[in-house]
Amino acid sequence: SADWLLDNLGDPKIRVFEVSVEPGVYERGHIPGAVNINWHTDLVDPVRRDIASQDNWEALLSRAGITPDTTVVLYGDHNNWFAAWGAWIFKYYGHADVRLLDGGRNLWERQNRELSSRPARHAASQYRVAEVNRELRARLSDVLQVVEGEHQAKLLDIRSPAEFEGRIFAPQGVQELAIRAGHIPGAKNVPWGSVVREDGTFKSADELRAIYEQEQGLKPGDDVITYCRIGERSSHTWFVLHYLLGYDKVRNYDGSWTEWGNAVRLPIERDTQ
């Protein structure tokens, strides 16, 4: 919560990271001591269209001055879209204690909490990844096995209904990256925005269970694969299912629709007339 973070900002065992979409917001003002992560360069390999390599990830966290024992708190704009993606990558590379600031940057600003324009400076460390948790990531081949009936898993498309139905390729103002519109066969549509309140904070556990379990029929023991357009919004749903509802088998398909919608000979479904 924002109250907890405010009370613990001076703790050297805690490091805050901002992962925002809009350029310049970190420079305009950020939570004091927060380290800026640029998702365009720090979270991805822009040449391979992949997540950041282990070497680059270790270098980034070494510059931020953290150790594997550091409590990591992430926040960002757009109700933590890319902060959740950052949390997923932290967990993929085995970091133990990773948290999201409930409500993200927008709530912190609305509550008129302190912001600093001073760049964060922390003594460098020698961060090393101990173990990669590959069970958190779904690949195209994993999703294809589900579609072809070779593996039992639930596919959750967390994009807007218009994207899911194939009426649009991407949210308004966002670059189109796929040549086909629609969704992966068998996927259920649970838009990510349905799990947050108007102020961006997460809904209660009971409200979340009603959405996923009563409306969609999910069970805590299910194998679930989340996807969106490029993997950031689906990371938000991965966080909700795994950390807020305790689902053990949740994987994020970060290739998402950008990969599936462009691949040759892969089936798609559309709901448009």
125, 196 contact by CB (below 8 A): no
Known catalytic residue: 77? no
Give the alpha-carbon dihedral of 61, 65, 68, 72, to 10 degrees.
Answer: -80
Query: Rounded to the nearest 5°, which phi and psi values hold at 134?
Result: -70, -10
Measured distance between the N- and C-terminal CA atoms of the chain, rounded to whole angstroms: 44
Q: Which amino acid makes up residue 37?
A: I
Task: Count the Cβ atoms, other than its own, within 10 Å of residue 109.
Answer: 14
103, 199 contact by CB (below 8 A): yes
> CA of 222: how far to CAs of 71, 91, 147, in Å?
29, 20, 16
Catalytic residue among 228, 230, 241, 250: 228
The residue among 108, 39, 44, 97 whose CA lies nearest residue 72 is 97
Q: Which amino acid makes up residue 221?
A: G
List the catalytic residues. 228
